[in-house]
Structures are given as structure tokens and as C-alpha cells.
Amino acid sequence: MWDYKKYLQYPANVRRKDPDLAGLIVTQFGGPDGELAASLRYLSQMYSMPIPEARATLNNIGTEELAHFEMVGTLVHKLVDGVPADVLRQTRFAPHYAQWGRANFPGDAFGNPFTAAYIASHEDPIASITEDLAAEQKARAVYEYLLDITDDPSIIDTLSFLREREVVHFQRFGEVLDLLYDYQDN
Amino acid sequence: MDSKKQSYPCPGPDRMKLAHAYIPYQEFREAYSPEQALRRGTLFPELWMPYQPGRVRGAY
Amino acid sequence: MATNRPRVNTELLQRIQQLNFAVLETVLYLNTHPRCREVLRLHNELSREYHEAIDEYQRRYGPLYADYADADYPWQWKDSPWPWEITY
């Protein structure tokens, strides 16, 4: 089961308000390669994994992704919090504001709502772990796209941290894959 | 170092099969301080692979 | 009554973040390297430090876990700052 610690895993600060950027960073909140997708993907796959190393890895990484979901949510929130409506009206955040106000909503950068169609979960553990390896690469790539389009040093700091986590997760899933091969051969 | 290596699955060319993906197994060498680890996003120096915008896409 | 004490200590929170993160990294490593004694030792050391830091923080600034056993009157868990309100 899950518990909550009342601190972010890593700081998520912004130097200045930027509703345009909020509407882009939101892709890692509720988009196809974002943290919510990652969390649900891993926390769905863990049940039918045949080896304990796989279950534990999926459980712990899936849990960590929820902390990242919170961090990205914090960035989006801070970027628009307190920005007057007439200013928001002039940004690409305007449709979001019209539908949801300044509240966070899990969706992608185009406004598409989150869907579990973003994830796969298979009884075949090789299929699932390969999906996870791909997911970590895509998330890393998206963080790089986002790093390309902001010069806010605080946001760059947070995005760089999240990007590095994807690299580490990829390594762990790679190790699980190898352990699965061993399990299959014996 | 060698005895550690033996206790981990370590894909050598003789062990690899076609149509199978392999990622090298990490072998622990040293850890950053917690302060440095958090700043870099990993406890392990050999896993620190920061974004280098000058390189071709996907290189890390 | 604990309502007049400072609600946050960002420096100690940062230390807690550092320790929690280091522990997590050892957990992920040990999940695929269960027989690495060195990292196991590191895990336990870091976890001990982490829990000490948590204890100190909760005692001085308020709960970080909802089930904190020495909760003061009136109930503080619900109060700010929540993590997204803090500038770390």
C-alpha cells in the first residue's frame, strides 16, 4: 500500500510565471511519456512478474514515478498560480483555463486527457520490460525536448534531475531483463 | 573485482542470443555523497549521464 | 500548543531529501543486486541517518507523515506548507 511523505523528492521551483511553458511541461504530468503513465504502467505490470527482482523493481520505480508526478504538477501549478485571467487569456494556457481554471489536469500538451492507452502491461515479462525500457527512453527524450525550450534555471534544474532518473531506471529495467533471461534458462 | 563479476549475470558474447536485448550489469564501485547524489540525480558516478545539447539526438 | 513554532526548515528538509534519495538509489540497486554487501551496508547506514533526520524534523517543525505518533494539538498535518507551496 502507499503512504505519503510531505516533501518533494527534489525541488521544483520556478523563477518566473510562464503559462505558455506550463501548457508544454504538462505533457509529463498526464501525457503519453509522462510520469503518471510511467507509474500506472509499472504498478500494473508488477503483479504477474515471475521473479521477485522484477516485482520489487516495478513496485519501487512505479512508486518513485508518483513522486515525479507530484514534482511536474508542482511546476505546472507554480507557473500559473496567481497569474491574472486576462494574462492567461493571451497564452496557450487559455483553453486549459477555460475548461479547468488554474487547476492541474492530467493531460498532454495538446489538452488530450490522460488515457491508459498510453501504457502496456503484459503477462509476457519480456514484452512488459521491453515496454518499460522504451518508456524510459521516451521520457528521457521528452525531458530533453523540454530542456531545449526553457531558460528558467530552476526549471532546468528540476527537468535535468527527472531526465537523469530515466537513465537510471532504464539501467534497472535492463538488469531485470537479464535476470528474466536467467530465470527462463533455468 | 573478478569475484564480484562472477556473482552477477554478466552478458558476454558467448552468452548472448540473437533477437535478445542486453544492457550491461552495473557493478558497484563508489557512491556520491547524498548531497551530490541528489544534485546529480543518481547515487552512482558511472550512471551520471547528463544531457549534452551539442551532440546528436539520443546520444547520452 | 505547537501553533507558534516555525512551520518549515528548508535546510533540514533538503538534508532529508538527500538522504531519502540516497536510500532509494540503494533500494533500486539492491533489488537487482541482492547479494552486494557493500551497498546493503550503505543502505542501512543511510536509512538510519534518514530516520534520525525525520524524527528531528517532525519533533521541531511538525509532521511529515500523517501517522506521526506525537501529533500536537490542534491537528497540524493538514496545514501548510504542502510540498508544492515550498520554495526549496
pLDDT score recorded for residue B5: 35
Give, in degrees to the nearest 5, the angle at Cα A132 between A10 and B55. Answer: 70
- Residues of B within 8 A of C29 (CB-CB) are 26, 28, 43-44
pLDDT score recorded for residue B8: 59
Residues of the domain holding B2 = 1-52
pTM: 0.95
Scanning C23-62 for CB atoms below 8 A from B yields 25-26, 29, 32-33, 35-36, 38-39, 42, 46
**For the segment B6-54, what is each residue's pLDDT rounded down to a tens digit?**
345 555 666 899 999 999 999 999 999 999 999 999 999 999 999 999 9
pLDDT score recorded for residue B4: 37
Domains and CATH numbers, chain A: 19-101+122-185 (1.20.1260.10)
What's the N-to-C CA distance of chain C in angstroms? 27
B52 to each of A145, A163, B32, B55, B58, how far by Cα in Å? 12, 12, 21, 6, 10
> At how many degrees (to 10) do helices C10-32 and A52-80 cross?
150
- Cross-chain residue pair A174–B22, CB shorter than 8 Å: yes
Question: What are the extents of the domains in chain C?
Answer: 10-82
pLDDT along chain C (88 residues), means of 10: 77 98 98 98 98 97 97 95 94
Grid cell 506521526 — which residue?
Answer: C68
Is B26 domain-assigned? Answer: yes
Burial A78-104 (b: 16+ CB within 10 A, else e): bbbeebeeeebeebebeebbeeeebeb
- Residues of A within 8 A of C77 (CB-CB) are 6
Domains of chain B: total: 1
Scanning A160-179 for CB atoms below 8 A from C yields 168, 172, 175-176, 179
> Cα separation of C85 and C88, whole Å?
9
Is B7 domain-assigned? Answer: yes
CA-closest candidate to residue A9, choices A54, A73, A104: A73
A54 to each of A47, A101, A176, B34, B37, how far by Cα in Å? 10, 41, 6, 26, 24
Query: Taking the CB of residue C82, how many other CB atoms lie within 10 A of it?
Result: 13
- Cross-chain residue pair C17–B37, CB shorter than 8 Å: no
pLDDT score recorded for residue C88: 82
**For the segment A87-121, what is each residue's pLDDT rounded down to a tens digit?**
999 999 999 999 999 999 999 999 999 999 999 99
* Residue-level pLDDT, tens digit, chain A, 186 residues: 999 999 999 999 999 999 999 999 999 999 999 999 999 999 999 999 999 999 999 999 999 999 999 999 999 999 999 999 999 999 999 999 999 999 999 999 999 999 999 999 999 999 999 999 999 999 999 999 999 999 999 999 999 999 999 999 999 999 999 999 999 998
Question: Which chains are adjacent to chain B, needing at least 3 Cβ pairs under 8 Å?
Answer: A, C
Task: Give the helix/strand (H/E) hosting A48.
Answer: none
